[in-house]
Amino acid sequence: MSLNTFISQSNSSKGDTENALIAALKWSPTKPVYESSGGYSQPGGRVGPVNLFNPVGLAKEKVIDAKRKNVNAAITGEYVFTDWLRFSSLLAYKNNNMLNGFFDNQVYSNGPLTDISGSKGQGSYTSLQNTNILTFNREFGIHSLQATAVAEYFKDIYNYTEASAKGIPPGMGYQGVHFGTVLLKPWSDYTSTSMMSYMGRINYNLMSRYLLSTSIRYDGASQLAPGHKYDSFAAVSVGWNLIEEPFLKSLKNSFQEFKIRASYGSVGNAAVPAYSSHLKFSPGIDADGNSTLTISQLSNLNLKWERTNELNIGFDSRFWNNRLSFTAEYYEKKTKDLLMWQKVPSALGVESVLTNVGAVSNKGWEFALSGTLLSTNDFSWNINYSLNFNKNRILELDSQSDRLIQPWADAPGLVGSFVQMIGQPMGTFLGYTYAGVWKQEEISVAALYNAKPGDTKYVDHNNDGKINDDDIVIIGNAQPKFNYGINNTFNYRGFDLNIFLQGVYGNQIYNQNRIGRENYSGGSGFGTHPVMKEHWTPVNQTNITAFSGTEYINSSRWVEDGSYLRLKNISLGYRLPESFLKNVKVTSVRLYVSGTNLLTFTNYTGFDPEASMGTDANGSAGVDRGVYPSSKSMIIGLDISF
């Protein structure tokens, strides 16, 4: 029996660096950071409904504090009945106490002093886990049998309370929330989720040649609807190590392993928020200052497990005296009853409801090559290469239409552009096809489309003389054709060099961040992109829309190639010779320097193609709303072993 405990504490205080990055792009390059009086230079005014911010002040003066105290403890025990039967148990406890503080004194904004706001929140997150495992492992001559039974229980409890206010005296910070002139509604949250699992697995091995494995599990999740909380998932796999067959004995000098394998099984997913199937209300304050309750989530009494059925066929090989290994695998996955947010009529009072929607398939190949390409007394070259192809398609949608518009996607320039469509990959972009700018000599044709020279031109796909919804087509998707990784490690005497390259190819990114920066129309169009210097005029007829041009809609103009190759990590080290250390009580000394994300090769014009290609908190894949880029880092270090 053993007891392990770990206690940590962290405090962080920072400005709003993520929004400061966007503010810097919207800031006039001719305006100074500071006024002559020493204060922050104020923006010239408010554009539409959007406040402008001094980016340096936003990063320095907006306070975001996060204090954490973590306690982790685990008790493990094992009882051995015989040399082939044993029982082990784990009891784990995790507690995270948190204090969050926020203060925005608005000294860097054109907003009124009544906008000075702050909040202070305190809470805890507690997690409990109990895992019990019974293991049987025995050999019977040429037969080997392993059997495992598992019972597992998880419980998570989240408790948080927050108070906020406006009109806080500038010098008091978030500790002075109670001095605010406008006390906002207090906010509290309590959630409790639990999950229970039972699992059994049997592995059978005959002469290290024929392999069979079966498993079944029964899982329950409290987040799902009554009557749908529990479900079972089974899997079976077989393997055949051909190199152990007598008729392939002659190949043993070339191959140390050559195994083919196949498997089929199902897994479940219930990763949704607590009480996802329940009707939920949120407290509020109406215009007269009265407390109210409003519906914040519709109930779904049919919410159930998302299920993925997967077929895998592959082979594993080791050759060249075990110096190299190669793996290839083909897979087919079909996921049904996807857990997704689906839009509902606005008359219901909410934007969407969490539901099980349709089915999606993923098919592809995965390849991996690793080992030692070259090895001498002084030099070695080790590799680890991977290449993955995936084809994603939506098979079914449980709606009256062949498409499902994602909620939250209706942002400026993005109305209805992010959709799920039957027969298309997830993360499909819809919009108009961009065809440049109407030229002066096209004035008569442009008039037929209610346009003028300098306006954006779109393709009239059905040639009806109008640009309308009938001309909306697929303009891209967020799914890459393949991704890859290239890892090389070189060793020469005491020196070691590791180079890791990573990339994707074939995906598109909807660069929403460009829309406002390249446009003067619309409430938040700031036109601060360098290309605006080349905007269309009667004497300078370029391919950039005129200041007065209209194009604040989703189109292929904003869809860019998201492919990239990145130097993800590089490190160079030197290990001092043992002869140099023999007179000191040190066994090893290594000096090193390493860098992360130092180089990126891409045609994408946004901040970071890697950060922009994923699915954001709004459920939109491949949409860049100004996401904060991956940071570059350089580290110089010293490792000493005694």
Report residue 497: phi and psi, to 5°.
Answer: -135, 125
pLDDT at 220: 98
SS3 state of residue 465: coil
In DSSP notation, 473-494 reads EEEEES--SEEEEEEEEEEETT
Q: Within 13 Å and on the Cβ side, how many CA atoms surround 611?
A: 16
Q: Token pair for residue 460?
A: 């009239």
Q: Which long-range contacts (CB under 8 A, 24 or more apart) does 211-214 make?
A: 211/237, 211/238, 211/239, 211/240, 211/241, 211/261, 212/236, 212/237, 212/238, 212/239, 213/237, 213/238, 213/263
pTM summary value: 0.84
The residue assigned the tokens 């060793």 is 491
pLDDT in tens, 339-385: 988 878 878 888 889 999 889 999 999 999 999 999 999 999 999 99
Greatest mean pLDDT range, 243-247, 412-416, 608-612: 243-247
Domain-wise residue ranges, the chain: 207-367, 401-642
Nearest to 64 by CA among 12, 115, 125, 116: 12
pLDDT in tens, 616-641: 544 567 888 777 788 899 999 999 88
Q: What is the CA 123 to chain-centroid distance, rounded?
A: 25
pLDDT in tens, 375-398: 999 999 999 999 999 999 999 987
Q: How far apart, in whole angstroms, are the C-alpha atoms of residue 532 and residue 539?
A: 15
pLDDT at 526: 57
CA dist 537 → 49, 225, 228, 557 (Å): 28, 60, 63, 20
**552 against 522, higher pLDDT:** 552
**469 against 407, higher pLDDT:** 469
Please compute the mean of the pLDDT values over residues 154-161 and round it to a whole number.
97
SS3 state of residue 598: strand
Cβ proximity of 303 and 228 under 8 Å: yes
- Is pLDDT above 60 for 576? yes
Pairing verdict, β 564-575 and 588-602: antiparallel
Single-letter amino acid code for the residue at 209 = R
Greatest mean pLDDT range, 28-37, 57-66, 446-455, 607-616: 446-455
For CA atoms 58, 104, 19, 12, the dihedral sign is positive
Give 15's pLDDT tier (boundaries 50, 70, 90): low
Cβ proximity of 31 and 55 under 8 Å: no
**257 against 40, higher pLDDT:** 257
Residues linked to residue 91 through DSSP beta bridges, in sequence order: 75, 130
Count other Cβ atoms within 10 Å, centred on residue 579. Answer: 7
Q: Output the CA angle 534-535-537, nearest 5 degrees.
A: 110
Q: How far apart, in whole angstroms, are the C-alpha atoms of residue 354 and residue 274?
A: 12
Q: How far apart, in whole angstroms, are the C-alpha atoms of residue 630 and residue 238?
A: 42
- Is pLDDT above 70 for 13? no
Pairing verdict, β 559-561 and 508-511: antiparallel
